[in-house]
Structure 1
Amino acid sequence: MAAKRLHDGYGQEDQPDDKRVRRMPSFSTVIREALMVKQMQTLFVALEPLLRRVVQEELQAGLVRSPRYIERMSPETPPAQPPMWKLAFRFKPQLPIFTGSKIEDVNGNPLEIILVDVDTGAPATISQPLRVEVVPVLGDFPTDDREHWTAEEFQQRGIVKERSGKRPLLTGDVSLTMRDGCVAVNELQFTDNSSWVRCRRFRIGVRVVPGSYDGPRIGEAMTEPFVVRDHRGELYRKHYPPVLGDDVWRLEKIGKEGAFHRKLTQHNVRNVQEFLRLLTVKPDELRAIMGDGMTDRMWEVTTSHAKKCVPGDKVYMYSTPHGTVYVNSIFELVKVELAGVEYQLHQLNRAQKVFVQQLLLAAYEQRNNLQEADAMALHCNDVPLLQNAAEITIPALGDTQLWIQNSLNSQEIDFQVDEIPQANFALQWTGQMYNISG
């Protein structure tokens, strides 16, 4: 007889707690939690310098506003006395300014630092050379818009330091020697944008190197505050003034890859030179290309910006057996020759003006094959060059009869011209060729 199985008195559900098998977490759960911890640690490490700087700035600002701090500091910081001389920039810097881009003045030249008399503002000189340094300054210094400050205030509250782990904010010719009261800064650029400082702006400051000069105090130079943008924004900035080879979207109101840019590209207007050529010869066609999306105000802004472009000294000629026109790089009329005779614009009669306009249109159609003329020879000619001659007013013909002279037998034939002839302006009349004569 089989022995009976003895029970221990516990059912499966009555097992003691310490003997129950605990459920182990899955491998994916462990990896996910480890990654989350790592990400949080990385975030805290990145935020720590920012939080430290913000707390430090707020504490300093609170201390400065504190009455006890003012009372304690007032005997140690006497009010700044106006210096005898100060440094100054001859011209303002050209804006906008981008990181990594060379900083120039509004005329496109290197920044120039001069020494001036504080009372008169006139340039001044001193006998000994001055060692000066270019430094980045906070855009809101001085906070109370004072005209004078001490060297200690400029050092402690004005000059801004680069971010932790970054390159110096200003690089290039930051240490210079001034002689005869002036010195040029040939190379200068910012390495970081201004978005991380509280006022969001920088200034460029110049001061005498501390300890290098024993004479009367010389005040520091500062530009107006400005925003320093990241260099990626330079890819889309406009040029002032534009140049002939600039892409057409460098003009005001024409955005890169925008609707106006696409329309112009479809009509082979890809740069400022082609834009100005079409504006000179066929302004109505250019206006039609831009469409109704460009308002009259936008059109005025765009064309005004384009007209600031310098056309250069090159002159091109387009010649036919009956006349020759000379134009510059944007098809502004320079000189006219009809039947070998040079004319000024006011000397042309109605039919000759029509003929000149047709020559311009024909020259525009052949713009890629024009012959370059000798600009110096044109300027040395006794006949004055035409100024603003591109704005030719074509008289309305209406019912007015034009006199066309037969150059073969010098007989005048009076007949009605119903349509403006094409570029060669030659009319067939009873088997003979009739042309405009000088």
Structure 2
Amino acid sequence: MVGEEVERALTKFAPPKVGGIRSSPRKIQGPDQQNLRLQFRNKLALPLFTGSKVEGEQGSAIHVVLQNTNTGHVVTSGPEASAKLDIVVLEGDFTADDEENWTQEEFENYMVRERDGKRPLLTGELSVTLKDGVGTLGELTFTDNSSWIRSRKFRLGVRLASGQCEGMRIREAKTEAFTVKDHRGELYKKHYPPALNDEVWRLDKIGKDGAFHKRLNQANVVTVEDFLRLVVMDPQRLRNILGNGMSNKMWEGTVEHAKTCVLSGKLHVYYADEKQNIGVIFNNIFQLMGLIADGSYMSVDSLSDSEKVYVDKLVKVAYENWENVVEYDGEALIGVKNYQAKGFDSHTSDPFGGRNFHSQGPSLNHQNGYTHTNYL
């Protein structure tokens, strides 16, 4: 009797038989395998336009990683770390939180295909292979705008390609929602980052032919370079040009966008004496870079407080006499190869030859919520 009871109990745990043959037991996944997900590492550069390359912020490549959600670490080994992924388009209203563990079916329900009679919605390199758990998306282009779907926005998504890591659940990744506009709108789009010679309306919050654009042009602030130079030399004047219609938040956003601009290698020097023994060095947006004294270059950071007082005064004079500033190619000027900080003796004679400077220099100040200094 006892033997029969034991046998009956064991049969409850035995896998069922199919066609007289016992089926293989299901593979039990380890805790790491049950908690893997794909994740985009950077955001997209927005807005997006049909026919234009999909890129990361500031023109960077778009990266996706395989992550262990238990540890937050990138999974660098195992077959899953070299899996092939498919890139798809999703509805913008797939709003599940990134920390949620949605199902494969839920993800696929939000996938978007092209409109009838249209070209494939997304073209280019529609797959990416992970290497040590990291993948870099190739060229991708949208062929249609997003105005025709219910949310009027798309997302990019990545998922395991068919046949990859079978029996293993790796949660898909999705980007933030974004609008795709027709290519003709690109003529008016902002640049990230802006170029020095871009017209000033390429900056955030300044619309082409709008009130801010017209005011800036009337003040001869035509390019992004002009804008940045005024940010450095006289931010309050620039703030007054834009007027009260630009809020502090808008102002900060516009300035921050302008400051992402890549500067050229040009340098400008204002010499304090005819022998050119002492001079202050500016970059091409008139930002103070350092000092040349007796053939040695000193960065702003290396100057003592008393030296900075002298430099402040010289910067003020330079701004008032900009026609006397000499322009150099950056590499040619820094033929001055001594980068060691060579200090002044603040207890001896005035290193600037005793010139009578104004007492107020362009020192650190706070204006309209924006911290401004000529030592940026």
Instruction: Give TM-score scaled by structure 1 length.
Output: 0.60
1:315 alignment counterpart: 267
Residue-by-residue CA offset, 1:152-180 (whole Å, 9 max, x unaligned): 4433x121111111111111211233232
- Counterparts of 1:94-109 in structure 2, within 5 Å, are 94-106=45-57, 108-109=59-60
1:390 alignment counterpart: none
Counterparts in 2 of 1:167 and 1:345: CA distance versus 1, 3 Å: farther
1:269 alignment counterpart: 221
2:341 alignment counterpart: 383
1:362 alignment counterpart: 321
Task: Give the AA of the match of 1:139.
Answer: G
Does 2:94 align with 1:141?
yes
Kept in 1: contact 2:198–2:224 (CA 8 A): yes
Does 2:43 align with 1:92?
yes
Residue-by-residue CA offset, 1:316-339 (whole Å, 9 max, x unaligned): 324451652211121112233468
Kept in 2: contact 1:194–1:229 (CA 8 A): yes
Kept in 1: contact 2:128–2:138 (CA 8 A): no
SS in 1 for 2:57: coil
Counterparts in 2 of 1:159 and 1:345: CA distance versus 1, 3 Å: same
Kept in 1: contact 2:88–2:126 (CA 8 A): yes
1:328 to 273, 277, 283: 283
Distance (Å, rounded) in 2 between the aligned partners of 1:299 and 1:354? 28
Larger Rg: 1
Distance (Å, rounded) in 2 between the aligned partners of 1:349 and 1:197? 59
SS in 2 for 1:262: helix
Does 2:107 align with 1:154?
yes
Aligned pair count reads 312
Offset of residue 117 of structure 1: 2.0
Distance (Å, rounded) in 2 between the aligned partners of 1:287 and 1:143? 42
- Counterparts of 1:27-426 in structure 2, within 5 Å, are 83-106=34-57, 108-124=59-75, 125-127=77-79, 129-141=82-94, 147-155=100-108, 157-291=109-243, 293-294=245-246, 298-311=250-263, 313-319=265-271, 321=274, 323-337=278-292, 344=303, 346-348=305-307, 353-363=312-322, 365=323, 370-374=327-331, 376-377=334-335, 380-383=338-341
Distance (Å, rounded) in 2 between the aligned partners of 1:205 and 1:194? 15
SS in 1 for 2:317: helix
SS in 1 for 2:255: helix
Residue-by-residue CA offset, 1:228-254 (whole Å, 9 max, x unaligned): 233333333333443423321122332
The percent identity for this pair of structures is 42
Counterparts in 2 of 1:163 and 1:311: CA distance versus 1, 3 Å: same
SS in 1 for 2:73: coil
Residue-by-residue CA offset, 1:4-46 (whole Å, 9 max, x unaligned): xxxxxxxxxxxxxxxxxxxxxxxxxxxxxxxxxxxxxxxxxxx
Counterparts in 2 of 1:326 and 1:246: CA distance versus 1, 3 Å: same
Kept in 2: contact 1:127–1:180 (CA 8 A): no
SS in 1 for 2:59: coil
Distance (Å, rounded) in 2 between the aligned partners of 1:237 and 1:270? 17
Offset of residue 345 of structure 1: 6.9
Task: Give the AA of the match of 2:188.
Answer: Y
Distance (Å, rounded) in 1 between the aligned partners of 2:317 and 2:176? 52
Task: Give the AA of the match of 1:89.
Answer: F
Counterparts in 2 of 1:301 and 1:137: CA distance versus 1, 3 Å: closer
Kept in 2: contact 1:87–1:218 (CA 8 A): yes
Counterparts in 2 of 1:267 and 1:131: CA distance versus 1, 3 Å: same
Distance (Å, rounded) in 1 between the aligned partners of 2:89 and 2:168? 24
Distance (Å, rounded) in 2 between the aligned partners of 1:224 and 1:267? 39
Kept in 1: contact 2:203–2:257 (CA 8 A): yes
Q: Which has the higher contact order (CA 8 A, sep 6+)?
A: 2
Offset of residue 113 of structure 1: 1.9
Kept in 2: contact 1:126–1:181 (CA 8 A): no
SS in 2 for 1:359: helix
Counterparts in 2 of 1:136 and 1:264: CA distance versus 1, 3 Å: same
Task: Report the RMSD for the aligned CA atoms in angstroms.
Answer: 3.9
**Higher helix proportion:** 1
Kept in 1: contact 2:266–2:328 (CA 8 A): no
Distance (Å, rounded) in 2 between the aligned partners of 1:384 and 1:116? 50
Counterparts in 2 of 1:347 and 1:268: CA distance versus 1, 3 Å: same
Task: Give the AA of the match of 2:305.
Answer: H
